[in-house]
Structure 1
Amino acid sequence: MPIINRIGDLAPDMAAWRQHLHSIPELAFDCPKTSAFIQERLAEIGVDEVHGGIAQTGIVAIINGQGEGPTIGLRADFDALPIEEETGVAYASTHPGKMHACGHDGHTAMLLGAAKYLAETRNFSGRVALIFQPAEEDGGGGEVMVQEGIMDRFGIGEVYAIHNAPGKDFGKFHTRGGPIMAAADTFHIHVTGKGGHAARPHDCVDPVVATCAIVNAFQTIVSRNHKPLDQLVISTTQIHTGTTDNVIPESAYINGTVRTFSKDVQAMVVRRMEEVVAGTAAAYGCEAKLAFEFGYPPTVNDTDKAGFAARVAAEVAGEAGVEQDVEPVMGAEDFSYMLEARPGAYLMLGQGDGAGVHHPKYNFNDEIAPIGASFFARLVETAQPVR
């Protein structure tokens, strides 16, 4: 696999950086140790500018190339998840209840490796903006960085990111033009009835049966209210009610997620949920309130930029090492906000067999870091050649 030789030499450094970050996982925007470590490495690498404190702990670093030209953005996320680690590795989390279970430690190491190579060689024109982002898992750090003006402040014209993909062939890139990941919204429903003795249900208004009916009715939205070819997921993930076997509770709580690609489908779901909740609760003599929270929008690749990224990936992984029309997935990513602000592309990079992301036994495969870093570097050199 034709990774860049110099980046291949940096593989031990990238593994060491990644494993250190793995041992100090931090959540959401509160990532001071992670941010400090990245800034220390950037200073050692010799980038031209380091701007911290963006979205609290986020960073944008600039590397100047040879001569005038545009600025290309490369993004890595660096926050962890509230999961108790079960990998058993020597560099496991030293922060109880937190772990890098999605590979953001690896994404950061890959971007640092690419940064070191680009700072050494500067075989490109214009500038590179290295975007190190907190709060991908919770809080929308990508949105906050965009809102704080990084695209205009640093003149970023296009932007790219990679996510590791456990279970996919080692070293194979996957991308597509158009939607690649879904919007992720959340619903909360509070159902209120009248509690009492379970032996006297006729004296009560039972919120449990109303809750069950609401949850079942939601699936008719999927099966009867939208086109079968339009992707839609409605998953109820929490139901909380009651405390014992002989008491009908006063209330119940329902929570879940909605995944869509189309704003029209999303609007239809909100409307039908409101109708189902109100109508079903009334049918059972209860009251119910729906709160619908709009989350990350769909991640939509620019078609031309995705094609360009796939061609660059093929230079690193070979033609057989790139799938250019991968099926969209119903997961979500806050890189979507950056792609709303600027054209660009999001790619997956297979890391072979192993536990999936968000699993307590997941671990990033350090062997793919030189592949991802080589892609980032070639992307810059190809997009902005020295003139």
Structure 2
Amino acid sequence: MSVIELNVLDELIALRRELHQYPELSGEEENTANRIKAWLETCSPSQIIDQIGGHGIAAIFDSETEGPSVLFRCELDALPIFEVGQPKWRSKEDGKAHLCGHDGHMSIICGLARHFAENPPRKGRIILLFQPAEENGAGASAIINDPKFSLIKPDYAFALHNLPGRPLHEIGVKSGPFNFASEGLIVNLVGKTSHASHPEDGISPASAVAEILAKLPNVPQELGYDHRTALCTLISTRMGGKAFGVTPADARIKATLRSSTNAAQQKLMHHMQELVKQVARRNGLGVTLNHREKFLSCQNDPEATNYIKKAAKNCNLALDELQEPFRWSEDFGNFSLVAKTAMFVLGAGQTQPQLHNSDYDFPEELIETGMKMFVSIADELCG
């Protein structure tokens, strides 16, 4: 199954390397979006929608014949990590790098734009979405809540993510929970300082910090979950200041909660918050709770998942029908609220550095494989 000519593949590889050299963080993707828009304009889609959900951009290929609206989504943003690898296309932005493969994912979707320019859908619509702010969990919800979303609202939505540690080109997918919901919890405890020679005159958060650190990781198990369905990971803690003569009055604890379903996530987060409040009250401390980087669980629709399985077969690719969801998070889960969605992983090689590692680099041979998968799905749904 050939969906791409060699000269186009060379262009996509060059595009990927250019995107890699000029990464932008979540919410800052203006130049990246402009570069993508310039590429899309050469493909003459029916409509280009920009500035959706921030710097998001969408290209619509409309058959003007009744049929489903099918969305293929990729991500615009990079990570705040210093790249130590030395490819010729190494990041030119110190402390910023495409170390998750979003540069490759964008190239795959840009390849689809070229394909559908030459092979337009026979029915329905194809929507190619370049989404901002995936890494911090803000982008998908911003897209969906943007009034412009009514112009692209899909019936089906598909996405992929490359995944090191799995055989190159292998497709991994499952119906139902595909990856975990995730949310960061910040606990701020407030007491009262005193001279270190009279600690009894102050209200130190030390005992409360010790108790919370000991108890939080055990919350999932106490509620009947195991590590395959939920976990709480302690991220950091800070207490007091620099002076040896002053007892601490404040403390901060950061933790991440992950669950395989949104319902489990809500239950566990509620229990964690109540636990923290009870410990704070017993120790005479004030407490505030803040939340960061909320990701919903990706829930793969059975029908949409079957299109992925069929595409893997049509493309003669190895298919791993997964038994358990991944514990990492992806904000593509938000699209499950508005469409039949499915996500799959695309093996990036068993010796490839892991995602978010400072020496990771997207395997460019996956560009054509990702395109083939998405084209096969599009052919099934839109002819």
TM category (shorter chain) comes to over 0.9
Partner of 2:92: 94
* Cα displacement string for residues 222-275 of structure 1 (whole angstroms, at most 9, x for unaligned residues): 222234487111112010123347342111111111112334433332332233
Shift of 1:197: 4.2
Moved more, 202-211 or 100-109: 202-211
Whole-angstrom CA distance in 2 between matches of 1:374 and 1:132: 18
Matching of residue 346 in structure 1 with residue 343 in structure 2: yes
Partner of 1:131: 129
Contact 1:66 1:123 in 2 (8 A): no
Whole-angstrom CA distance in 1 between matches of 2:249 and 2:60: 58
- Please give the residue correspondences for 1:171-210 in structure 2 after superposition, counting only pairs within 5 Å: 171-210=169-208
Contact 1:7 1:370 in 2 (8 A): no
Task: Evaluate the alpha carbon distance shift between residue 136 and residue 285 of structure 1 in structure 2; reply closer, same or farther with a 3 A threshold.
Answer: same
Task: Evaluate the alpha carbon distance shift between residue 172 and residue 150 of structure 1 in structure 2; reply closer, same or farther with a 3 A threshold.
Answer: farther
Contact 2:68 2:381 in 1 (8 A): no
Whole-angstrom CA distance in 1 between matches of 2:270 and 2:31: 44
Whole-angstrom CA distance in 1 between matches of 2:257 and 2:300: 21
Shift of 1:168: 1.1
The amino acid that maps onto 1:57 is: H
Matching of residue 14 in structure 1 with residue 12 in structure 2: yes
Contact 1:277 1:289 in 2 (8 A): no
Partner of 2:315: 316
Contact 2:69 2:156 in 1 (8 A): yes
Contact 1:210 1:280 in 2 (8 A): yes
Of 324, 328, 334, the residue aligned with 2:325 is: 328
Whole-angstrom CA distance in 2 between matches of 1:155 and 1:271: 32
Of 369, 372, 376, the residue aligned with 1:374 is: 372
Contact 1:101 1:363 in 2 (8 A): yes
TM-score (norm 2): 0.92
Whole-angstrom CA distance in 2 between matches of 1:91 and 1:190: 42
Whole-angstrom CA distance in 2 between matches of 1:18 and 1:148: 28
TM-score (norm 1): 0.91
In structure 2, runs of 5+ residues without a counterpart are none
Of 210, 213, 217, the residue aligned with 2:211 is: 213
Partner of 2:54: 56
Moved more, 203-212 or 349-358: 203-212
Shift of 1:206: 2.4
Task: Evaluate the alpha carbon distance shift between residue 116 and residue 296 of structure 1 in structure 2; reply closer, same or farther with a 3 A threshold.
Answer: same
Task: Evaluate the alpha carbon distance shift between residue 226 and residue 53 of structure 1 in structure 2; reply closer, same or farther with a 3 A threshold.
Answer: same
Whole-angstrom CA distance in 2 between matches of 1:57 and 1:275: 38
Whole-angstrom CA distance in 2 between matches of 1:377 and 1:5: 8
The amino acid that maps onto 2:328 is: G
Shift of 1:294: 7.7
Shift of 1:344: 2.1
- Please give the residue correspondences for 1:235-274 in structure 2 after superposition, counting only pairs within 5 Å: 235-244=233-242, 246=244, 247-274=246-273
Contact 1:151 1:157 in 2 (8 A): no
Shift of 1:25: 0.6
Contact 1:176 1:301 in 2 (8 A): yes
Task: Evaluate the alpha carbon distance shift between residue 170 and residue 8 of structure 1 in structure 2; reply closer, same or farther with a 3 A threshold.
Answer: farther
Shift of 1:66: 8.0
Whole-angstrom CA distance in 1 between matches of 2:371 and 2:276: 49
* Cα displacement string for residues 264-321 of structure 1 (whole angstroms, at most 9, x for unaligned residues): 4333323322332233234434333333458221111101110121111221143xx1
Partner secondary structure for residue 79 of structure 1: coil
Contact 2:260 2:325 in 1 (8 A): no
Partner of 1:84: 82
Shift of 1:155: 5.1
Partner secondary structure for residue 4 of structure 2: helix
Of 158, 168, 174, the residue aligned with 1:160 is: 158
Task: Evaluate the alpha carbon distance shift between residue 7 and residue 138 of structure 1 in structure 2; reply closer, same or farther with a 3 A threshold.
Answer: farther
Of 92, 105, 108, the residue aligned with 2:106 is: 108
